[in-house]
Amino acid sequence: MTKQHANWSPYDNNGGSCVAIAGADYCVIAADTRLSTGYNILTRDYSKISQLAEKSVMASSGFQADVKALQKQLSARHLIYQHQHNKQMSCPAMAQLLSNTLYYKRFFPYYAFNVLGGLDNEGKGCVFTYDAVGSYERVGYSSQGSGSTLIMPFLDNQLKSPSPLLLPAQDAVTPLSEAEAIDLVKTVFASATERDIYTGDKLEVVTLNASGIHREYMDLRRD
């Protein structure tokens, strides 16, 4: 028997882009719905956004099998939290949990790039951005995934956030109104879709505010 080549990888990259923007009393989380592998499109209608708690929504790109496992792990931990504390987890708490969950697999990571958006205990919008092994930061806006290099400079240009090194710490929320933020998200995805082959088909936009959660969709280029 000849020796087999050891070229199998436990990982794949299914592409996709995620964006989240925090406002004074709202949070917008968006992602496209294309699922690809290599040059193939697996499906045009796959949601990368999951609601982890009442006021925490996560959008994830990367390897969707790992993302699924991560979501399952987080919802199991959230169920235990609900039984123990008789309340929903807050978004900053969920952010810490997500970081710990990612770091727990430091040496065989979840290949997942996440943005977590939601409302904090005061009802202010919050966005947390992660790497695959759990380093995270609270920011005013963020983008992750295959189109992030195209999206991030434009968000910087439109939403310049104060430096995180400033003392005293500045609020990182954006000055836009909710409608303006949703418009901006639609614009950046339309642009990213033009140049990134892994982004397209449909945009899913989730908005969190005091009145609850709202979902809307916009068609993107399908080529």
Residues of the shown chain interacting with another protein in the complex, contacts defined by CB under 8 A: 147, 149-154, 156-157, 187-188, 191-192, 194-195
Cα 58 to Cα 189: distance, rounded to the nearest angstrom: 18
Taking the least distance from each CB to another protein, the nearer of 50 and 193 is: 193
Spatial separation of the C-alpha atoms in residues 135 and 129, rounded to whole Å: 8
Q: How far is the CB of 62 from another protein (least distance, A)?
A: 18
Distance in Å, CB of 158 to another protein, minimum: 9
Q: Based on CB atoms, which residue is closest to another protein, 133 or 152?
A: 152
Q: Cβ 151 to another protein, closest distance in Å?
A: 6
Nearest approach, Cβ of residue 149 and another protein (Å): 4
**Cβ 202 to another protein, closest distance in Å?**
19
Nearer to another protein, 80 or 166 (CB): 166
Q: How far is the CB of 147 from another protein (least distance, A)?
A: 8
Q: 18 or 89, CB closer to another protein?
A: 18
Ordered DSSP codes for the chain: -PPPP----S------EEEEEE-SSEEEEEEE--EEETTEEEES----EEEEETTEEEEEEE-HHHHHHHHHHHHHHHHHHHHHHSSPPPHHHHHHHHHHHHHHTTTS---EEEEEEEE-TTS-EEEEEE-TT--EEEESEEEEETTHHHHHHHHHHHH-PPPTT-SSPPP---S--HHHHHHHHHHHHHHHHHH-TTS-SEEEEEEEETTEEEEEEEE----
By beta-carbon proximity to another protein, the closer residue of 21 and 150 is 150
Choose between 118 and 200: whose C-beta lies nearer to another protein: 200
* Phi and psi torsions of 100, nearest 5°: -60, -40
